Structures are given as structure tokens and as C-alpha cells.
């Protein structure tokens, strides 16, 4: 039996925030994969090593978690006054699909550096020393993101002393601004309410804040579902019944947000919405053994991504947290002590994160102007990724 040989495609493996993924330039992809569709999805699935019934992604670049089963495609900007188009694909681990419904906020921190290194940013805009401002068009959600990338001797500065909980080693700080992060096609609160009664079979009626800022997110109170907000990954991910409960909450919330028509559709939309639970500050020990005091945080947040509790916090969910905390009366705001605020420090399984947001109410509708956070990023490997030629 004759099989096509492997093909090789220029690629860069990068960490961005608490995630990592395989980065491509659109023009480097095989011609059939330069347009959205089955060929592109099949290629990215094979690159990452999915679908894998063993859920290990041994035969690919994925790391068998939602944080490491990611792909990025960068292209020439389609919007004026932008440097690059950024398209994100969340690759399912055990199912044959790529979810294009949302952004990855963590990998956004690496997009600026990749854009500079790949020639998307004009050389006269890159200082010899200082900060290069990269304007990114996030093609999944059609929003502008501004990355402030440190430059030393004309090149991207990757090493530094900025520490990010959830990442073992320090690196250079990259500030990321998510401009107008709320859904531009509808209300930031899709139901029109800051807090809703969400009917969930088996759970009863849960108080929920459903927001579309950064990424569609459903927030519930930890205590209402039997948790404290101090849980670590194994507390949730080792409990199949708990994961099933969260998926049920997520599916019913997605219907209420108008993202899907019925709960069955949730299975094919794993990346969005996210589901998270919040609680008032409390002492806990992070996954690295670091003690987090109640006085160190404003609120505790735990969030699930692709059906599992995240080891830290998704960058887009951090935008949702920051924005919701800035709106008096949401569950996030109330758990953080209520009132007006422009920033919040929240506790997650790996430690803490400070994020800022600006929100305002106009004609009875809340909107967010921007959310800001600091991350870090670096190149892990660059060269070519290889896939069997008969896989696309």
C-alpha cells in the first residue's frame, strides 16, 4: 500500500501566558489550507495529534490539555491601521474538530512577538530599544488588541524578571490591551440582566452572571454548587460527575445567552462559552505549594476550559472577570466586595493575577472600553512541523 510522504510546513512553537501553541503564517500553509474549511481543520488536527482516544496527543505537538492544544494563523492585516490578522483555532483533544468560535487571550501575548519576528510590523516602527506597539486584528471575534512588546537592540526581548503564576520561569513582561472587549453585535450582557436565574436540570435554579467580554462566560457562585472557590485541578478533573455537572450548566447557559439553539449543540462548541465559579477571598495553597492569603486577592475564581478545570486562568476569561468586576451588581463584583472598581486581583489554582477594565453605562446598557493585563511570551522552537501528506 502506497502512502504519501510527510510534508513540512514552516512553524514556530511558542508559549504565550499560561498556554502554548503552534504558530503559522497563512502564506506558509499548503494552498488548500490557506482558506477556511475541511483541509485546514484536518491539517491542524494532525499537527496537534487529534483526535486521540487516548487523550495524550503523543503523535502530535499538543500537550493533552486545553492550554496546549492550540494553533494560531497570522496573516497580512485586512483592517486599516493594524499590523496583522490573528486567527485562533482551539483543537479538540479527543474529537475531530477545531473550534474557531473564540480567541485565546494567553496566546495573544505571543502574537505581537511573532508578528515582529515574521515581518508583519514595518521596520521603521520597531525601536532599537524600548517598546514596539503592535495592533492586532483578532479575526475570530473581530476586535482590536494592542500588544506592547519590549525591544532590545532591535530584537524582541523575551527574557526578564516578570513572574506569572502558572508559568515556572520568569520572562519579559508584555502588556496586552483588549480594546472594546464586549460583543459588538449585541449586549455585553446577552440576557439584558446583570444576574439571571438559570434553570439547570439536577441543579435547580442558579444565580448566574452571563457576560460576553473577552469571551462568553457564565459565572455562578461557588457556594451554590457546593464548592469553596479554593479548589485545584484534581479536585474537579478527577470527578467525572462534577465535570458532567459543569457541562450541563455550560450548555444551558449557552442556550440562555443565545449562543446555541439547543443544548445538544454545545458538544460542537466546546471553546465557548466558558463556565466559572466565584467566591469571596479565602486562604488556600496553590498548585505550586505557594500560600495565598485572603488579603492577597479581591475574589476567588475557578474556570473550566474544554471541559476541564484550567490550571491557571484563560486570558480571555481574565478579561471577562475584569469587566464583570467593574460592573456593580454582577456576581463577580459582589464576590469582590461590590462597588466601583477599575481593577481586580483574583485567585486561581496557580496563584493570583491582577487585571484592569474600564466599563460604563450608557442609556441603560453597560459597555467596556478596554481591559488590560500583563503576560509574557517566548519562542520555544522554530523550524518546520511535519505531517503525513495523506492527512490533508
pTM of the model: 0.91
User: What is the rounded CA–CA span in Å between residue 312 and residue 66?
Assistant: 11
Quick one: average pLDDT of 298-323?
A: 97
pLDDT-derived band of residue 381, with 50, 70 and 90 as boundaries?
very high
Q: Angle formed by the axes of helices 315-325 and 105-117, to 10°? A: 120
Residue written as cell 460527575?
241
Quick one: average pLDDT of 296-302?
A: 98
Q: Look at residue 183 and tell me whether its pLDDT is greater than 70.
A: no
Q: Look at residue 185 and tell me whether its pLDDT is greater than 70.
A: no
Residues shown for the chain: 392
pLDDT-derived band of residue 184, with 50, 70 and 90 as boundaries?
low
Q: What is the structure's pLDDT at 388?
A: 96
What letter does residue 47 receive in the DSSP assignment?
H
Q: Are strands 70-75 and 19-25 parallel, antiparallel or unpaired?
A: parallel
Q: What is the structure's pLDDT at 231?
A: 98
Looking at the chain, the whole-number percentage of residues with pLDDT higher than 90 is 94
Q: What is the structure's pLDDT at 363?
A: 83
Count helices and strands (H / E) in the chain: 6, 21
- Contact at 8 Å (CB) between 321 and 301? yes
Quick one: average pLDDT of 236-264?
A: 97
C-alpha cell at 144: 482590536
Please state the φ and ψ torsions of residue 166, each to the nearest 5 degrees.
105, -10
Bond preceding residue 273 cis, omega within 30 of 0: yes
Q: Look at residue 1 and tell me whether its pLDDT is greater than 90.
A: no
- Contact at 8 Å (CB) between 132 and 126? yes
Q: Where are the beta strands (DSSP E) in 46-83?
A: 70-75
For 274, half-sphere exposure in the C-beta direction (CA atoms, 13 angstrom radius) is: 32
Neighbours of 334 (CB within 10 A): 21
Which DSSP string corresponds to 189-221? STTS-SSEEEEETTTEEEEEEEEEESEEEEEEE
Rounded to the nearest integer, the mean pLDDT of the chain is 96
Q: What is the structure's pLDDT at 278?
A: 98
Q: What is the structure's pLDDT at 362?
A: 85
Which of the residues are catalytic? Answer: 104, 314
Supply the Cα-derived Rg of the chain in whole angstroms: 20
User: What is the rounded CA–CA span in Å between residue 368 and residue 144?
Assistant: 13
3-class secondary structure, 208? strand
User: What is the rounded CA–CA span in Å between residue 43 and residue 388?
Assistant: 9
Please state the φ and ψ torsions of residue 345, each to the nearest 5 degrees.
-110, 120
Q: Look at residue 64 and tell me whether its pLDDT is greater than 70.
A: yes
**Sequence-ordered alpha helix ranges (H) in the chain:** 38-48, 105-117, 233-237, 240-257, 315-325, 331-335
First-to-last C-alpha distance (Å) of the chain: 18
Q: Look at residue 76 and tell me whether its pLDDT is greater than 90.
A: yes
Q: Look at residue 2 and tell me whether its pLDDT is greater than 90.
A: no
pLDDT-derived band of residue 187, with 50, 70 and 90 as boundaries?
confident
For 221, half-sphere exposure in the C-beta direction (CA atoms, 13 angstrom radius) is: 16
pLDDT digits (tens, 9 = 90+) for 133-149: 999 999 999 999 999 99
Q: Look at residue 365 and tell me whether its pLDDT is greater than 90.
A: no
C-alpha cell at 319: 478579561
Q: Look at residue 186 and tell me whether its pLDDT is greater than 80.
A: no
- Contact at 8 Å (CB) between 231 and 310? no
Neighbours of 332 (CB within 10 A): 26
Q: Are strands 84-91 and 98-99 parallel, antiparallel or unpaired?
A: antiparallel
C-alpha cell at 153: 537592540
Looking at the chain, the whole-number percentage of residues with pLDDT higher than 70 is 99
Q: Are strands 365-375 and 98-99 parallel, antiparallel or unpaired?
A: unpaired
pLDDT digits (tens, 9 = 90+) for 147-175: 999 999 999 999 999 999 999 999 999 99
pLDDT-derived band of residue 276, with 50, 70 and 90 as boundaries?
very high
- Contact at 8 Å (CB) between 312 and 18? yes
pLDDT digits (tens, 9 = 90+) for 82-140: 999 999 999 999 999 999 999 999 999 999 999 999 999 999 999 999 999 999 999 99
Amino acid at each position: 500500500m502506497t502512502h504519501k510522504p510527510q510534508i513540512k510546513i514552516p512553524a514556530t512553537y511558542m508559549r504565550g501566558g499560561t498556554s502554548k501553541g503552534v504558530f503559522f503564517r497563512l502564506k506558509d500553509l499548503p494552498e488548500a489550507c490557506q482558506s477556511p474549511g475541511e483541509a485546514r481543520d484536518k491539517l491542524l488536527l494532525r499537527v496537534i495529534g487529534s483526535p486521540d482516544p487516548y487523550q495524550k496527543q503523543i503523535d502530535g505537538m499538543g500537550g493533552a490539555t486545553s492550554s496546549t492544544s492550540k494553533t494560531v494563523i497570522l496573516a497580512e492585516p485586512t483592517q486599516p491601521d493594524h499590523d496583522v490578522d490573528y486567527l485562533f483555532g482551539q483543537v479538540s483533544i479527543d474529537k475531530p474538530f477545531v473550534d474557531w468560535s473564540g480567541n485565546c487571550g494567553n496566546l495573544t501575548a505571543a502574537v505581537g512577538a511573532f508578528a515582529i519576528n515574521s515581518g508583519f510590523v514595518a521596520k521603521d516602527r520597531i525601536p532599537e530599544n524600548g517598546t514596539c506597539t503592535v495592533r492586532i486584528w483578532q479575526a475570530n471575534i473581530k476586535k482590536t488588541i494592542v500588544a506592547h512588546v519590549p525591544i532590545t537592540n532591535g530584537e524582541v526581548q523575551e527574557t526578564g524578571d516578570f513572574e506569572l503564576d502558572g508559568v515556572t520561569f520568569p520572562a519579559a513582561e508584555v502588556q496586552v490591551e483588549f480594546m472594546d472587549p464586549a460583543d459588538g453585535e449585541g449586549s455585553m450582557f446577552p440576557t439584558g440582566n446583570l444576574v439571571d436565574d438559570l434553570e439547570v436540570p439536577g441543579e435547580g435554579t442558579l444565580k448566574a452572571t452571563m457576560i460576553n467580554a473577552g469571551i462568553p462566560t457564565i459565572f455562578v457562585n461557588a457556594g451554590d454548587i457546593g464548592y469553596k472557590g479554593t479548589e485545584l485541578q484534581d479536585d474537579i478533573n478527577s470527578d467525572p460527575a462534577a465535570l458532567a455537572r459543569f457541562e450541563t450548566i455550560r450548555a444551558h447557559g449557552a442556550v440562555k445567552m443565545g449562543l446555541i439553539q439547543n443544548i445538544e449543540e454545545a458538544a460542537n462548541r466546546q471553546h465557548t462559552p466558558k463556565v466559572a465559579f466565584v467566591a469571596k477571598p479565602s486562604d488556600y495553597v496553590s498548585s505550586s505549594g505557594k500560600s495565598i492569603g485572603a488579603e492577597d486577592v479581591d475574589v476567588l475564581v475557578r474556570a473550566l476550559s474544554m471541559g476541564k478545570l484550567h490550571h491557571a486562568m484563560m486570558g480571555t476569561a481574565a478579561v471577562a472577570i475584569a469587566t464583570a468586576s467593574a460592573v456593580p451588581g454582577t456576581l463577580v463584583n459582589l464576590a469582590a466586595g461590590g462597588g466601583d472598581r477599575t481593577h481586580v486581583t483574583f485567585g486561581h489554582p496557580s496563584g493570583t493575577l491582577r487585571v484592569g477594565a474600564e466599563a460604563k453605562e450608557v442609556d441603560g446598557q453597560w459597555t467596556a472600553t478596554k481591559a488590560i493585563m500583563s503576560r509574557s511570551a517566548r519562542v520555544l522552537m522554530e523550524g518546520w512541523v511535519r505531517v503525513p501528506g495523506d492527512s490533508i
